[in-house]
Amino acid sequence: MGFKDASVSIVKCSQYHSVDDAKIAVRKAVDFLGGMESIITPGDHVLLKPNFVCPVDYKTGATTNPHVIFAIAELCREVGAKRITIAEGPGIGQDMDDVYDQLGIRDMAAKYNCHVVNILKDEFTYVVNPLGKHIKRIRLPKTFIESNVVINIPVMKTHDALAVTLGLKNMKGIIHNSDKKRFHKWGLAQTVVDLGHLAMPELTIMDGTVALEGMGPVVGSPVNLGLVLASTDTVAMDRVCLEIMGFGLEEVDYIRMAGEQGLGCTDLSRIRVLGEALESVKRPFQRLSFDSKLLEERGITVVECDACSGCNNAINSYIYSLHVKGELDKLSGCTLVYGQTPSISEEASDKVIRLGVCTRNMQGAKGVYVPGCPPHPMHIDDYLAGEGLKKE
């Protein structure tokens, strides 16, 4: 069986706290697709791209399980990979060297003869992207450009701005930090798809040993799912993960758009699931939710006007995070407006917060404007603090 099929393998992995244990499941998942020798040629330089968004242990579900990563490295070595590099750029504001140190990655890399690259310190080269709608050229790191094979190793997680973060979204970790900020400005869903035209991995191995639900991608609750999945079609992988997590394709714009724009298969009837039956591993993930009475009591009005799922996810996540931190009162009396056709009634309070680029030039615009497409939930407070709600 070749790697061109839209096939996704699902393997149970109930023991995942050692490299040897994880290797049994990873090997089985990759063997369903034809084995690691199907994609690696002896002498290859292999890049392993995990998700190390912050220095938080894999048992929280926020970061890739290192045992899965080094199990993959071992399989690559068995089939003749010459150089294996783990490369990641962390979330904005994180120190990648610190993340590697705190997660013990350098010590494990020394033991398993792997190189470790901090992408923030890598050399970047501009690459043109003729198929991109928003990104026509972008800087990519030398480590990525010079590798022969890329193996993407995301964690199955919910996400505050995009509903979920899976295989396709994980590749955003290789771009320059300043471009990460621009992605929100240019439209996160489409830019993630555009990047997929340039940075599609040869193989995606989903770490579903410990997943994350609720307030992803960092502060949610761990889900001891005990699964490893593999596919050469990252979009098909993401589609299968949506089914496992209980999300509809229509809820996640960027995965739907990736299918529509030819990056991979989102048609479940055309995806061959190998190994465990999909029905048998479904486990609906918790979403963000809170009682709307909490808003009513504080006079907070949320006006959603034909918004994309990106804005819906981001704004809900922002409100939820304030609720969890006990800071909802700071929005007392405010009207939050967002969406593609934004408008508010004349009587709306003066404390208006316009969220997302669609509200920039809305008719009768007043209040504080927060840019982004969608606005990043973590940055909304910065804009509110910087511009001062009370001045409006």
Binding site for ligand SF4 (CB under 6 A): 187, 307-308, 310-311, 339-340, 356-358, 373-374
**Closer residue to ligand SF4, CB minimum distance, 242 or 314:** 314
> How many Å apart are CA 330 and CA 353, to the nearest integer?
12
- Tell me the β-bridge partners of 115: 85
84 — phi, psi (to 5°)? -120, 125
**Closer residue to ligand SF4, CB minimum distance, 91 or 374:** 374
Return the sign of the alpha-carbon dihedral for residues 106, 109, 113, 118. negative
| Paired tokens of 154 | 């995301």
CB of 161 to ligand SF4, least distance (A): 9
Determine the angle formed by the axes of helices 377-387 and 309-325, rounding to 10 degrees. 70
Chain centroid offset of residue 324 CA? 22
Residue nearest ligand SF4 by beta-carbon distance? 356
> How many Å apart are CA 218 and CA 60, to the nearest integer?
8
Please return the burial class of 270, using the count of CB atoms within 10 Å of its CB with bins 0-12, 13-18 and 19+: exposed
**Closer residue to ligand SF4, CB minimum distance, 135 or 244:** 135
**Closer residue to ligand SF4, CB minimum distance, 61 or 356:** 356
**Closer residue to ligand SF4, CB minimum distance, 230 or 314:** 314
CB of 48 to ligand SF4, least distance (A): 31
Q: How far apart are the first and last CA of the chain?
A: 63
**Closer residue to ligand SF4, CB minimum distance, 57 or 304:** 304
CB of 365 to ligand SF4, least distance (A): 14
| Paired tokens of 296 | 């009513």
- Tell me the β-bridge partners of 207: 155, 228
CB of 187 to ligand SF4, least distance (A): 6
> How many Å apart are CA 316 and CA 216, to the nearest integer?
12
**Closer residue to ligand SF4, CB minimum distance, 218 or 357:** 357
CB of 190 to ligand SF4, least distance (A): 9
CB of 305 to ligand SF4, least distance (A): 8
CB of 315 to ligand SF4, least distance (A): 9
